[in-house]
Structure 1
Amino acid sequence: GFYVGGQESANGWREVLKDLYDRGAQEVLLGVFDGLPGLDAAFKEVYPKADVQHCVVHKVRSTFPKIRVQHRTEVIEDLKTVYNAADEELARAAFDTVKAKWSKLYAKEMRSWEEQLPTLLTFYKYPALIKEAIYTSNPIERMNKEIRKRLKPMNSLTNMDAAEKVIYLDVIDYNERFAERVIRGFG
């Protein structure tokens, strides 16, 4: 779908998701999100049986600036033990270790991770072969970055229709380039 809208909100996302549902995307089993407010709730409303996976990469990136410079490398390496664990049980044990180590200095960040842990570790319910495809929303972010990169030098677009045409053509090109690719683990 292609939608032009204002603020990202639960109502806005609900309309987008309902449109996708009405157009045939009715058996969605997993949504991978970067943590936008309202998106999870809207998704669960339209697809109540589906799982939610929060993007681990976004979570790490949002944690990074809140960590003192001298601790950043160590904290990030410790967090990797959580999402790179062999299974969910080991991931939760790794988080307990990280939490015990860093809670005194970074209580708020560790609490945030703990609250989101169930949706950060959803990918463990799925085959290990597809982990890399579902634990992050980076492929979508990459496409958005390419679109922004294309629009930036065109700062003199005459109107919204012109911008929409550029985006539409970029998305068509993107779809054609990736249509035959098989996502690792899904072949």
Structure 2
Amino acid sequence: MSNSITENVFSKQIEELVRDFVKSNLETMMREEFKNYFEVERPDLKNSKNGSYERILDTRFGRIEDLSVPRDREGHFQTCLFDPYQRRERWLGETIITMYNKGFSTREIGSFVERILGDSYSAATVSNVTNVLFEDIKQWQERPLNKRYSVLFLDGTYIKLRRQDVDSEVVYIVVGITEDGHKEIVDFFVGGNENSYGWKDILVGLKKRGLEEVLLGVFDGLPGLEGAFKEVYPKADVQRCIVHKIRNTTKKIRKSDQKKVTSDLKKVYRANTKNEALEEFKTFKETWNTIYPKVVTSWEEELSVLLTFLDYPKVIQPM
């Protein structure tokens, strides 16, 4: 499996969760927009609601295949969130993610709504949509968290966000797997450059909100992150993300050797048992230590946290 394909497999589940989150909130906004169109803007028109239709919208987090857009029987209503035939609206999804970050003020939410609705709707409608969005955000931010998660995934991704100007900021995404196997977004945090101090503040905040226990933490090799995680959840196991490790490794390998090196490493992390994995690593070390000693040392030093998943029952190892 190529590195790019492996990365796509790794990120797919998180992207799906984020995409569903963006979809849900776009639909909330459109329902309120629809309601105000007939109740505030055009009370003279009969609201013969005719369900909704599905359309495609491309976002920064992937394609939404089945975005539900409300419609009326006479075709009077047309959402202002995007043009009728528009397929790509990347900044809209990014802004929704940003709004659900703590610290995004009511005024900023109002500015966002006014920017997309202001030319077509009255101040009353802008205010109504803002209030609904604000309450939805508040409820989501203040909702009680599960006391215990089996797995907590920590992932940081950079996106360009529009505030006063356009700049790249990290979105810290925390995804949890509950004890019954349900995946959910625990929280978003936006701002600055990704670092272990930012992650520690996030984890401390989650614990204060009631997330007391984590069985396994999964994340990349960001310097200091493992220590920060263990400070907050000292009893949790740590699984270093193999995908990130492979990606970083290939950068240090000659192109002509990349396929063979990654194939040999795959024998390590695809082993059936930890003992088998350690034996495969011995072979890997014998093969490549002379040519790439730093790469081998890097894997050797982190092998214990790269193979944590092999300590778990086979039925949940792929997860």
Q: Shared topology, TM-score over 0.5? A: yes
Alpha-carbon distance between aligned partners in 1 of 2:268 and 2:215, rounded to the nearest angstrom: 24
Q: Please tell me whether the aligned partners of residues 13 and 38 of structure 1 are also in contact (alpha carbons under 8 angstroms).
A: no
- Say if 2:246 is the partner of 1:60: yes
Find the counterpart in structure 2 of residue 82 from structure 1. Answer: 268
- Give structure 1 stretches of 5+ with no counterpart: 134-187
Deviation for aligned residue 1:126: 0.8
State, as a whole percentage, how many aligned pairs show the same letter: 53
2:219 to 14, 28, 33: 33
SS in 2 for 1:132: coil
- 2:216–2:239 CA contact under 8 A, matched in 1: yes
Give 1:4's aligned residue: 190
Structure 2 residue aligned with 1:15, among 201, 226, 243? 201
1:112-131 alignment runs, 5 A limit: 112-131=298-317
- Could you tell me how far apart the structure 2 residues matched to 1:33 and 1:128 are? 20
| Shift, 1:5, TM fit | 2.5
Residue aligning to 2:294: 108
Q: Considering only aligned residues, what root-mean-square deviation do their CA atoms show, in Å?
A: 1.1
Q: Which moved more, 1:66-75 or 1:103-112?
A: 66-75
Deviations 1:24-57 (A, max 9, x none): 2111011001111221111100000001100111
TM-score, L = length of structure 1: 0.68
**C-alpha distance in structure 2 between counterparts of 1:9 and 1:56, whole Å:** 19
Q: TM-score, normalised to structure 2's length? A: 0.41
In structure 1, what is the Cα distance between the partners aligned to 2:195 and 2:260? 35
How far apart in 1 are the matches of 2:266 and 2:190?
37
Max radius of gyration: which structure?
2
Q: How far did residue 65 of structure 1 move?
A: 2.0
Q: Is the 8 A contact 1:34 1:58 kept in 2?
A: yes
Question: Higher RCO, 1 or 2 (CA under 8 Å, sep at least 6)?
Answer: 1
Q: Secondary structure at the match of 2:238?
A: strand
**C-alpha separation between the residues in 2 aligned to 1:82 and 1:122?**
12
2:217 alignment partner, SS class: strand
Counterpart of 1:92 in structure 2 is 278
Which has the larger share of helix? 1
Distance change in 2, residues 1:65/1:9 (3 Å): closer
Distance 1:11 1:59 in 2: 21
